Chains A and B, each alone.
Chain A
Amino acid sequence: MNFLDRLWGAFPAFLMARRNVARAKTRSALAVAVILIGVVAIGAIGAGGVAFQESQFETLGSIGADIQVFAGEDNENGHLTAADVGRIDRVSGQAEIVPLKQANADVIRGGSTAGSATLYGVEEPSALYEVSEGSIPQNWRKGVLVGSTLADRYDLRPGSKVTLRRTVTEDGETVRRTEEYRVTAVLAQAGQADIANPNEAFVLPPGEFDDDVFAQVIVRSDDATTANETAMQIKRTFNGRRQIVAVFERGDIAEQIDEAFRLINLFLVGIGAISLVVAGVSIANVMLMSAIERREEIGVLRAVGYQKLDIVRIMLAEATLLGVVGSLLGGAVTLGIVAVINDVLLGDPFAFPPGSLQYVVVGMVFGVIASLLAGIYPAWTAARERPVEALRG
């Protein structure tokens, strides 16, 4: 006896099950196929959903840990002052603060207005932005950083020149001022929800703006919880009955988006699970056919001393075998599909986000369980048959 024979000898129910599965090849193949589809439905929808969620968060940018402070509706200045910034810095404790100045400008090309753009004034642009081309000078006093969309639109590179016209207040008078700047860096594409999104903006040194006028202050905490505490602290410090500052918290939004994704994914996986129920029904059908076809055979087994439970075991082994084969193939196919989804959404076929593989495993486990459950009724039907009746044919 070779090793394989001995191995099957240790699991006689599976020996018979394997041979029976091999006997009705087409029928078994179809049963395996429905299980496979069910497993793929759960696994691919679940894991694909996780990948989609991940890709959306990449687009949305890192949200949750940042809060934004603006001038409130009762603020007489209509903007934040340097003193306000100082107070925010004090109450924010360890959190990093980025005061932001803001203005609008027209982009002048060949002497006429080609479009408008937002101007941001930031002390330390590297705290907010990533550079894709060129670099931010150590001593940030002149030059301009350009957002990726504008860089494409106006064909700007580090070293290019750009002319901006804007309205400024000089000695109490409002004047139009046109100036030429030299591009020192092009900024990397930022997410849709990034704070002070630079895609359609130019970033200038704060010295280019009015001294004491800040559009907003960004407070960057380590996590959403700290951000929430800081926001409360700032509101307590500034706002009594009057709203001197408005605090825009992003943690809530992040949570809501997260929850929405989770629910959508659960719903989709639920739809996938229905296909496994269908697969289970199909397995039950296959097993019933098998039980009816093998009536006499089962009668013989009962006659030669197989107990009812032995028959149940053999039939369940058969159903489980179909389920295991279907689930393994389904798992493999799912991994392939998820790899494609990962590649499309996340740019790397093997970038399985956390929780992604979990769905594949869940799909496979459900595949086996569905088959096992589906086998119970046909197995019991077969075992209950009286051998005399079965042998009469």
Chain B
Amino acid sequence: MAGPDDADSDERETNPVISGHDVVKEYVTGGETVRALRGIDFRVDPGEFVAIVGPSGSGKSTLLNMLGLLDVPTSGLVELNGLDVETFGDAERTRKRKETIGFVFQSFHLIPTLTAVENVEVPRLLDRTPRKTRDAATDLLERVGLGERLDHYPDELSGGQKQRVAIARALVNEPRLLLADEPTGNLDRDTGDQILAEFDEITDEGVAVVTVTHDDYVAQSADRVVNLIDGTVREDEEAVTG
């Protein structure tokens, strides 16, 4: 749990988008309890590009799920914009995700039946503001260089194009935090570079980007690298990756 000494350590110039204190996450699989996170502290500031690296099973994905409010900690405190996420019910967490967090996945997870522009609209589709949403989605796709591909279906796009559609989708609700799970994992080096360039641009606008990655060069372009080993954090200036 967060102690009263937390207040001192958190006094920086800006408030973090999301922060964690002594976060523990345990799973029960096959009767055994697995400690995926063993009491870690973290904070993500606006405009930061953070890379989480570490070997498989080190808890990277668990941490990302925690940051994305897709999962709640077994113990410890996670605060989104200063609010304890444990006080949120499922509906409230879902709403917060929509308002503040964008997701980019390794395998893109675009909806195959929807066109590029419709895929970008998905997070706002239920808002019943079709015209505004269409304009925002079109702007975003133009921004990531897909202005010519609005009405293409996912299977008509290359991997890099799909990932850029996914990034546009993640940005359509103007989030404060963008979470990327191996965003370049399925892409070649050049395409991956384009994606990283997009992330740079996004962070310039004050959006924090947190990515889980295996790739050295992704970690190298990050502002900060969080090295996760066996559910504990080693924060280095230099990337230590496998």
Residues of chain A having any CB pair with chain B under 8 Å: 1, 5-6, 9-10, 12-13, 15-16, 19-20, 22-23, 296-297, 299-308, 310, 386-388, 391, 393
* A308 and B130 within 8 A (CB): no
Stretch of B73-81, B121-129, B196-204, B224-232 contacting A (4+ beta carbons < 8 Å): B121-129
Residues of A within 8 A of B113 (CB): 16, 19-20, 22-23
* A6 and B130 within 8 A (CB): yes
* A387 and B70 within 8 A (CB): yes
Beyond A305-B95, A305-B97, A388-B65, is A300–B111 a contact (Cβ under 8 Å)?
yes
Q: Closest CB-CB distance, A319 to chain B, in whole Å? A: 16
Beyond A12-B125, A300-B111, A388-B71, is A306–B94 a contact (Cβ under 8 Å)?
yes
A-B contact pairs, 9 of them (CB 8 A): A12-B128, A20-B113, A23-B113, A301-B122, A304-B102, A304-B123, A304-B173, A305-B123, A307-B94
Complex CA gap A314/B22 in Å reads 39
Q: Closest CB-CB distance, A286 to chain B, in whole Å? A: 16
Residues of B within 8 A of A303 (CB): 68, 70, 97, 103
Interface readout for B93-117 with A: 1 if CB under 8 Å, 0 if not? 0110111001101010101111000
Residues of A within 8 A of B133 (CB): 9
Complex CA gap A16/B119 in Å reads 11
Residues of A within 8 A of B68 (CB): 303
Beyond A1-B130, A12-B125, is A308–B105 a contact (Cβ under 8 Å)?
no
* B98 and A304 within 8 A (CB): yes
Complex CA gap A352/B213 in Å reads 71
* A297 and B130 within 8 A (CB): no
* A304 and B130 within 8 A (CB): no
Residues of B within 8 A of A305 (CB): 94-95, 97-99, 123, 173
Complex CA gap A1/B138 in Å reads 12
B122 is contacted by which of A6, A304, A388, A391 (Cβ under 8 Å)? A304
Residues of A within 8 A of B95 (CB): 305, 307
* B112 and A310 within 8 A (CB): no
Residues of A within 8 A of B118 (CB): 15
Report the nearest A residue to B96, measured CB to CB.
A305
* B70 and A388 within 8 A (CB): yes
Q: Closest CB-CB distance, A188 to chain B, in whole Å? A: 65
Complex CA gap A303/B71 in Å reads 11
Q: How many residue pairs bridge A and B at CB < 8 Å?
A: 79
Report the nearest B residue to A304, measured CB to CB.
B123
* A308 and B109 within 8 A (CB): no
B10 at the interface (CB under 8 A from A): no
Q: Closest CB-CB distance, A393 to chain B, in whole Å? A: 8
* A304 and B103 within 8 A (CB): yes
Main secondary structure of the interface of B (DSSP, over half): helix
Complex CA gap A20/B118 in Å reads 14
| Given A297-B111, A303-B97, 17 further pairs, Cβ under 8 A | A6-B130, A6-B131, A12-B128, A16-B111, A16-B114, A22-B113, A299-B109, A300-B111, A304-B123, A304-B170, A304-B173, A305-B94, A305-B123, A305-B173, A307-B94, A391-B105, A391-B109
**On chain B, which size bracket covers the interface?**
20 to 34
Residues of B within 8 A of A20 (CB): 113
Beyond A305-B94, A306-B94, A388-B70, is A296–B130 a contact (Cβ under 8 Å)?
no
B7 at the interface (CB under 8 A from A): no
B109 is contacted by which of A15, A19, A300, A307 (Cβ under 8 Å)? A300
A15 is contacted by which of B90, B112, B125 (Cβ under 8 Å)? B125
Complex CA gap A268/B90 in Å reads 48
Residues of A within 8 A of B114 (CB): 16, 19
Complex CA gap A304/B99 in Å reads 9
Residues of B within 8 A of A10 (CB): 128, 130
Residues of B within 8 A of A302 (CB): 94
B60 at the interface (CB under 8 A from A): no
Interface readout for B34-68 with A: 1 if CB under 8 Å, 0 if not? 00000000000000000000000000000001001
B28 at the interface (CB under 8 A from A): no
Q: Closest CB-CB distance, B97 to chain A, in whole Å? A: 5
Complex CA gap A310/B127 in Å reads 11
Q: Closest CB-CB distance, A61 to chain B, in whole Å? A: 61
Residues of B within 8 A of A308 (CB): 90-91, 94
Q: Closest CB-CB distance, A15 to chain B, in whole Å? A: 7
* B112 and A23 within 8 A (CB): yes
Q: Closest CB-CB distance, B194 to chain A, in whole Å? A: 22
Residues of A within 8 A of B149 (CB): none
B162 at the interface (CB under 8 A from A): no
Report the nearest A residue to B66, measured CB to CB.
A388
Residues of B within 8 A of A5 (CB): 130, 134
Beyond A304-B97, A307-B91, is A1–B131 a contact (Cβ under 8 Å)?
yes
Q: Closest CB-CB distance, B171 to chain A, in whole Å? A: 11
Residues of B within 8 A of A388 (CB): 65, 70-71
Residues of B within 8 A of A391 (CB): 70, 105, 109
Residues of B within 8 A of A304 (CB): 97-98, 102-103, 122-123, 169-170, 173
Complex CA gap A301/B114 in Å reads 13
Residues of B within 8 A of A16 (CB): 111, 113-114, 125
Complex CA gap A391/B70 in Å reads 10
Interface readout for B148-184 with A: 1 if CB under 8 Å, 0 if not? 0000000000000000000001100100000000000
Complex CA gap A45/B99 in Å reads 54
Complex CA gap A345/B10 in Å reads 88
Complex CA gap A9/B126 in Å reads 9
Q: Closest CB-CB distance, A362 to chain B, in whole Å? A: 34
Complex CA gap A310/B128 in Å reads 13
